[in-house]
């Protein structure tokens, strides 16, 4: 009788079997993890892409938090012709290798060198990740978006013809564009005053209130600038005349009594190291540094204005008041007979009886109502299209931000808050970020010739 030899596995067989099992476990672990992850990669642009100009740079980022990026492909298609703009592959990564999960994307497009034409085109993008789904092809995100290639500058025609301006004053420019604009307005030296549609139903007609800063003379360069969605820009000069002005030179005595009375009011508004220095140094920190910070706040408030003309007719002056200081006064501050500082007064100080009711100078929306450093309790009213009025040194405020007020509505009362030496109202007007002379806005003849007649003319044309 023949006996059977029992089945035996050698040590080498055990070793190979163990290695195979380990490999299977590793592969299954890889596939169960990022190897088979199902999240699609993303191509995110920094800003919406609608137009492509003569020379454009599309910027964004490709992202995949799971298995990482494997390939990025971008092309532009026009009239059946496909032009590849970018084809970038990333190294295939196995197991624990370093994966690229975010990649900045910059695509330069020169329309002329790529032989593209003005008109419609298609921007096509594809992103793949390193997942082993789809039999190793990975997850894919495919997108197409319609774009317009535009290499032509917009045509701009000036509608307003007369622009008689004053140094430190305001003006109004009205113009028509041949196409929608991404940005337009009046450039005065280094300051830009945006134009707005909305006054007429015609979306191609823009109005732009602008200012001639007090420190800009008759030779200040100004023009309308207009940029379309593709970045094409047109500059248009327009006829104007700027009258120069000599501003008052004034000297203010800073007494020890005034400093002792006023400086405690600013303790919470100064840096700790400044709050403990001598009174004069504290005053200079307030008059210089805090003043700049307060003006920055005013500029930020005035960045946004309603595209609606809230106001009508000349602006009101504080009833029964006397002027104590004018717009653009160049002030020299003296302490114990020595010049210690120089500043420019950017409003008009009006004094009446103590705690006199302060009316809104014209209709508008309350844009700011709070303490404003050197100006104390302050209200800013947005009258629309970038025109603001400002009321400082109030003893109290009785309107909240956002409230619509009519001309003559009481918004507070005069006072001595801020750097006021006595009870009065600091009244100022601004065009966007720039203080202008309030006297113009009190003058019905100035408003008629420089604002309302121009607006009536385009209303008649519309």
Of 125-134, 208-217, 280-289, the range with the lowest mean pLDDT is 125-134
CA proximity to 353, closest of 308, 404, 318, 327: 318
What is the per-residue pLDDT across 72-87, written as a single tens digit (0 to 9) for each? 999 999 999 999 999 9
- Judge whether residue 24 has pLDDT over 60: no
Residue 125: pLDDT band (50, 70, 90) is very high
What is the per-residue pLDDT across 440-462, written as a single tens digit (0 to 9) for each? 999 999 999 999 999 998 876 65
* Structure confidence at residue 435 (pLDDT): 98
Please give the Cα distance from 274 to 278 (Å, whole number): 9
Phi and psi angles of residue 113, each rounded to the nearest 5 degrees, phi first: -70, -25
Q: What are the angstrom distances between the C-alpha of 146 and each of 49, 51, 114, 122?
A: 9, 9, 18, 5
Residue partners of 252: CB distance under 8 A and separation at least 6: 331, 332, 333, 334
Residue 32: pLDDT band (50, 70, 90) is very low
What is the per-residue pLDDT across 153-189, written as a single tens digit (0 to 9) for each? 999 999 999 999 999 999 999 999 999 999 999 999 9
* Structure confidence at residue 4 (pLDDT): 54
Residue 29: pLDDT band (50, 70, 90) is very low
Q: Which residues of 421-432 are buried (b: 16+ CB within 10 A; e: fewer)?
A: bebbbbbbbbbb
What is the per-residue pLDDT across 87-121, written as a single tens digit (0 to 9) for each? 999 998 775 668 899 999 999 999 999 999 999 99
Q: How many CB atoms lie within 10 A of CB 325?
A: 17
Please give the Cα distance from 199 to 175 (Å, whole number): 12
* Structure confidence at residue 25 (pLDDT): 43
Mean pLDDT of 416-443: 97
User: Which pTM does this prediction carry?
Assistant: 0.84
Phi and psi angles of residue 262, each rounded to the nearest 5 degrees, phi first: -95, -35
Mean pLDDT of 135-146: 89
Residue 21: pLDDT band (50, 70, 90) is low
Q: All domains of the chain, ordered by start, with CATH?
A: 37-149 (2.60.40.3880), 156-245 (2.60.40.650), 249-431 (2.70.70.10)
What is the per-residue pLDDT across 203-243, written as a single tens digit (0 to 9) for each? 999 999 999 999 998 999 999 999 999 999 999 999 999 99
* Structure confidence at residue 98 (pLDDT): 83
- Judge whether residue 305 has pLDDT over 70: yes
State the greatest distance between any 2 C-alpha atoms of the chain, in Å, as a whole number: 136
Please give the Cα distance from 109 to 89 (Å, whole number): 20
- Judge whether residue 37 has pLDDT over 60: yes
Helix/strand number for the chain, H first, E second: 8, 30
- What average pLDDT does the chain have? 91
Q: How many CB atoms lie within 10 A of CB 334?
A: 14
Residue 22: pLDDT band (50, 70, 90) is low
Percent of the chain with pLDDT over 70: 91
Mean pLDDT of 260-268: 91
Mean pLDDT of 182-202: 96
Mean pLDDT of 364-374: 98
Cβ(48)–Cβ(60) below 8 Å: no
Task: Kindly report the length of the chain.
Answer: 462
Q: What angle do CA 300, 191, 185 make, to 5 degrees?
A: 95
- Judge whether residue 363 has pLDDT over 80: yes
């Amino acid at each position: 009788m023949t006996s059977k030899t029992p089945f035996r596995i050698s040590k080498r067989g055990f070793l190979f079997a163990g290695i195979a099992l380990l490999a299977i476990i590793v592969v299954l672990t890889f596939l169960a993890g990022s190897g088979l992850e199902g999240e699609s990669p993303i191509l995110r642009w920094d800003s919406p892409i609608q137009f492509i100009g003569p020379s454009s740079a599309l910027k964004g980022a490709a992202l995949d938090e799971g298995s990482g990026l494997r390939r990025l492909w971008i092309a532009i298609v026009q009239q059946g012709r496909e032009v590849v703009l970018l084809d970038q592959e990333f190294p295939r990564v196995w197991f624990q290798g370093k994966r690229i999960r975010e990649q900045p994307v910059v695509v330069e497009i020169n329309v002329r060198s790529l032989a593209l034409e003005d008109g419609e085109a298609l921007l096509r993008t594809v992103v793949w990740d390193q997942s082993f789904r789809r039999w190793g092809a990975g997850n894919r995100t495919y997108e197409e978006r319609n774009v317009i290639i535009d290499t032509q500058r917009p045509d701009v025609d000036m509608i307003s013809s007369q622009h008689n301006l004053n140094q430190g004053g305001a003006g109004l420019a009205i113009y028509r564009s041949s196409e929608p604009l991404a940005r337009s307005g009046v450039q005065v030296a280094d300051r830009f005053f945006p134009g707005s549609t909305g006054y007429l139903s015609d979306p191609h007609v823009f109005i732009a209130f602008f200012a001639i800063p007090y420190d800009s003379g008759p030779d200040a360069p100004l023009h309308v600038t207009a940029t379309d969605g593709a970045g094409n820009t047109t500059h248009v000069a327009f006829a104007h005349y700027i009258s120069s002005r000599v501003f008052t030179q004034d000297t203010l005595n800073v007494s020890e009594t005034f400093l002792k009375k006023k400086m405690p009011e600013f303790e919470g508004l100064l840096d700790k190291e400044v709050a403990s220095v001598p009174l004069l140094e504290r005053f200079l920190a307030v008059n210089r540094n805090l003043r700049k910070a307060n003006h920055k706040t005013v500029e930020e408030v005035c960045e946004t204005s309603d595209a609606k003309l809230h106001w009508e007719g000349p602006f009101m002056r504080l009833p029964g008041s006397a002027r104590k200081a004018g717009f653009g006064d160049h002030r020299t501050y003296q302490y114990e007979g020595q010049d210690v500082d120089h500043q420019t007064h950017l409003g008009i100080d009006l004094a009446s009886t103590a705690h006199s009711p302060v009316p809104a100078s014209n209709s508008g929306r309350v844009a700011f109502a709070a303490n404003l450093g050197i100006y104390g309790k302050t209200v800013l009213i947005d009258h629309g299209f970038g025109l603001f009025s400002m009321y400082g040194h109030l003893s109290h405020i009785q309107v909240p931000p956002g409230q619509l007020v009519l001309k003559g509505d009481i918004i507070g009362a005069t006072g001595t808050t801020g750097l006021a030496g006595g009870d009065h109202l600091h009244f100022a007007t601004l065009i966007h970020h720039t203080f202008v002379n309030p006297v113009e806005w009190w003058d019905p003849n100035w408003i008629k010739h420089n604002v309302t007649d121009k607006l009536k003319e385009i209303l008649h044309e519309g």
